Amino acid sequence: MLSEHHFALIKQSLPLLANAGVAVTEHFYTRLFSEQPELKHIFNLSNQASGKQQFALFAAIARFATYLDTPERLAQLTAQIANKHVALQIKPEHYPIVGANLLATLRTLFPAEFTPEVEAAWANAYGIIADLLITAEAGKYQQMQNQMGGWYGLRTFYIADMIEESAHVKSFYLKPLDGKAVANYVSGQFITVSVHIPNTEYRQQRHYTLSGRIHNGYRISVKNDGLVSAYLHQCPLGTELQLAPPAGDFTLRANQKPKVLISGGVGITPMVAMLEELITQASPVWFLHACQNAQQHSFKHWLVEQQALNNTLICKTWYEEGDGADFSGRMDIDAIALPLTEADFYLCGPEAFMRGIYHQLIAAQVSPNQIYYEMFGPHSDLSA
């Protein structure tokens, strides 16, 4: 347990993490990878280069410390981070390594503020945070392994088929190399693809949303806009990939409320999976999508077919350029009538897009408790 004195010291020193600048985060990861280079097989090195991962780690630790006296919010954050960690195969032995480098970084860069007393408080708090996550992750690993078709660690799949969904997005149909059953998943979840790209030193891991159900396998739909996605787009049929089991908590809430699915660009992928589930029910669904133009509108024909077959489905599109959409320019939720006070809203897409839609919804008197969202990458708070 964290003593009242230690908790007070944590609160007083939170700005050290909450406002951690580039120098702090760069020092931490330089130190971490220098002492434990094998961790580069786990961390997304593209996010390292952009600074997203560094910011996310320090922001998450600051949020954990803030919520230590708020059990409900602490439980929500623990579940959210644990889902990401099990997808990346984070193990208990990684926590002491990260903790030691975190404390050493703060000790080095803030010698005046990070006194031995403050360090002791943070070491205590980090131990509590680590224990919470290790316990939550152990339960998820066991659940994944014990379910029908489940497994632990990485399992070999191969690309059985691929289909172009739009100018930059391909769907990949992945089947298990051993031919055995695969674990079920919940709409909105993702799988982690681990690959060793030729002429690179470290394995790369990326999360890709499961975009639709296929027999004894998984479908992911990938935009060609990064190191791993570019590699996948040039892979021939039969290419073998390593997959972690399905994970993620961006899933439909079990209620009878109307659902509004809002996506931008390749953020359409979890929405397609969710819609596959929702169209079997009687509740009304609004499917709102924005993209650059008709050539980049993934799953367009499938959505047209679904709308023709389901009178409870309302689809609306926005193109920033060209014809063929219901609206031109950027998405404006005021353009259509939505059940603002009754519905659950699900958002996925580029962070700037989701942040804009989130604030539109809040301005329209939608409660934050009605809004759920998924980040492609380190988590960020859209309300900030």
Q: Determine the Cα–Cα distance for residues 380 and 374; give it in Å rounded to an integer.
A: 9
Cα-Cα-Cα-Cα dihedral of 290, 295, 299, 304, to 10°? 80
Q: Can 72 be counted among the known catalytic residues?
A: no
Residue position matching structure tokens 């055995």: 180
What pairing do the DSSP bridges indicate for beta strands 371-374 and 344-348? Answer: parallel
Q: Which two tokens stand for residue 24?
A: 């702090």
What pairing do the DSSP bridges indicate for beta strands 217-223 and 204-214? Answer: antiparallel
Cα atoms found within 13 Å of the Cα of residue 247, Cβ hemisphere only: 30
| Distances, alpha carbon 381 to alpha carbons 51, 246, 373, 375, in Å | 16, 24, 10, 10
Q: Looking at the DSSP assignment, which residues form a beta bridge with residue 195?
A: 204
Cα–Cα nearest to 182, from 215, 142, 150: 150
Catalytic hit among 29, 38, 72, 95: 95
DSSP string, 230-285: HHHHTPPTT-EEEEEEEE-S----SS-S-EEEEEEGGGHHHHHHHHHHHTTSSS-E
Phi-psi region of 269 (alpha: psi -120 to 50; beta: other; left: phi over 0): alpha
Q: Looking at the DSSP assignment, which residues form a beta bridge with residue 241?
A: 157
Cα atoms found within 13 Å of the Cα of residue 226, Cβ hemisphere only: 18
Q: Which two tokens stand for residue 208?
A: 């890709």
Cα-Cα-Cα-Cα dihedral of 129, 133, 136, 139, to 10°? -140
Q: Can 137 be counted among the known catalytic residues?
A: yes
Catalytic hit among 137, 231, 346, 358: 137
Q: Assign 150 to helix, strand or coil.
A: coil
Q: Looking at the DSSP assignment, which residues form a beta bridge with residue 365?
A: none
Query: Catalytic positions, please?
Result: 95, 137
